[in-house]
Amino acid sequence: MKSAEEKMRLEEERLKQEERDTLKKLSEQANEIGEKNSAEGVSLIEEKEDEDIRRPSVSVEETDEASAESKEELPSWETKPDTEKAVFNGLGWLKSICIGVLIGVLLVVFVIQRNNVYGSSMEPNLYEGDVIFAQKISTYFDNYKRGDVVILDGSNLEGYTHDEYLIKRVIGLPGETIKIENGKVYIKKVGASDFEELTEDYLAPGTITTVSGLGLAKGYNEITLSSTEYYCMGDNRVPSNDSRNLGPFSEDRVKGVALFRVYPFTSIGTVK
């Protein structure tokens, strides 16, 4: 009879053998599964390659053509109806015209004015029928200098009965004393103690300056101007109705400074 120890040893060997058999069987099954999956993977890859080959490709040129067609379908100026183009262009022209008219109105109201010359009081520099442009900018600053040809409002002045503006030349400035004697004009400037004869190159040769009896009676032959007054005369001294008869012109009566003669066309140029 076998001893208990031998029985135990034999039992342990049997269990170890069964364990080895089980591990071997599991290993064989795992190998079979791995080989099967590998074969299926290759088959899938081959099928995918076949599918890619069968699938129709799209060339770059076809894509560009499709993009071009898409662009052509987008609305553009060329595809707009002619009526819409005409309306748009018409609105553009209307806008330009309105802006031009507005600029013209602003220029006429605030910057430039047109004046016609009446009478012969400014000969030989301006003649009746001449058309001049005068700037208004100086009137906002009361900035005038001796020799300027100015546009004057003579309304309500004693001795002036016309509706038109006057066109005269600035002779005396605010604060100065003007004296007319012996056919000449003398100026005593502000702060000076003596009179100086005024050089008037714009007059026709041989012109003399005198004051009428009415002007003498009012003291316009020698007068000191206030800080807002100007003494103005026409270049043609004999017929001119100016400060020698009407008195000094206040600065608010100055409406512009003559710049250009625009008519007649043969005499276009600056007013001197």
Catalytic residue set: 121, 168
Q: Quote the CA–CA distance of 227 and 104 in Å, as a whole number.
A: 35
End-to-end CA distance of the chain: 159
Sign of CA pseudo-dihedral 194, 149, 167, 255: negative
Which has the closest alpha carbon to 147: 173, 129, 121?
A: 173
Which has the closest alpha carbon to 155: 26, 38, 249, 28?
A: 249
* The token pair that represents 233 in the structure block: 């005369």
* The token pair that represents 235 in the structure block: 């270049």
* The token pair that represents 126 in the structure block: 């301006």
Nearest 10 degrees: Cα torsion 219, 222, 228, 233: 90
